[in-house]
Chain A
Amino acid sequence: AQSVTQLDSQVPVFEEAPVELRCNYSSSVSVYLFWYVQYPNQGLQLLLKYLSGSTLVKGINGFEAEFNKSQTSFHLRKPSVHISDTAEYFCAVGGSYIPTFGRGTSLIVHP
């Protein structure tokens, strides 16, 4: 069985400030972790993924995430956000071919 908990439903932040979106997971099989972004009225787009290797993963649009096995976490970070980063962010775990998604975190960037 696998599950994902996104600890914050909404994260407001000012433009150019750093941000961290938190994700904790559980899985009884090999762990593959993903962050997706969803802009209004669009499908999900992959930001980054962890399959193996380096625990620090870099993705698109300046985002990065760190896999922490002991804390079962995969938090998403960006050092300086832009207005255009306002969107819904989903963490997902997939140890098989069927991923499980979290409920999402709404990132709201204020000018």
Chain B
Amino acid sequence: DTGVSQNPRHKITKRGQNVTFRCDPISEHNRLYWYRQTLGQGPEFLTYFQNEAQLEKSRLLSDRFSAERPKGSFSTLEIQRTEQGDSAMYLCASSWDRGGSYEQYFGPGTRLTVT
């Protein structure tokens, strides 16, 4: 299967701990997106990369959130000093920005529970 993969699928952590999630996009895709999804809501955009460049990060929820894509392949999303309000599903998506398709392919998500 060459779809988008995310690890871990589930993460339970205690308040105040740091967590890191990984996303592996479809290999030929140059764009990678991170979203947060809470219960009963649609995906909320957080940040995106084109290759290794982070082109939009103003919508990261606070300075506790950061993302990297060091070699333009996989990406990591880190949340420092987690809070209970960070509990949510974190989705990753990738796309190929040529041909004007604008279609995003989503991974299965990482469900974070902060206790």
Contact = CB atoms under 8 A, between A and B. Distances in A.
Interface string A96-111: 0111111110000000
A44 B41 CA distance: 13
A90 B56 contact: no
What is the interface of chain A mostly: helix, strand, loop, or mixed? loop
Interface in B84-109: 91, 93, 97, 100-109
What is the interface of chain B mostly: helix, strand, loop, or mixed? loop
A99 B41 contact: no
Interface stretch (A14-22, A45-53, A65-73): A45-53
A101 B42 contact: yes
Interface residues of B, number: 24
B103 A46 contact: yes
A43 B41 contact: no
Output the residue of A44, A49, A99 with the most chain B CB within 10 A.
A44
A97 B31 contact: yes
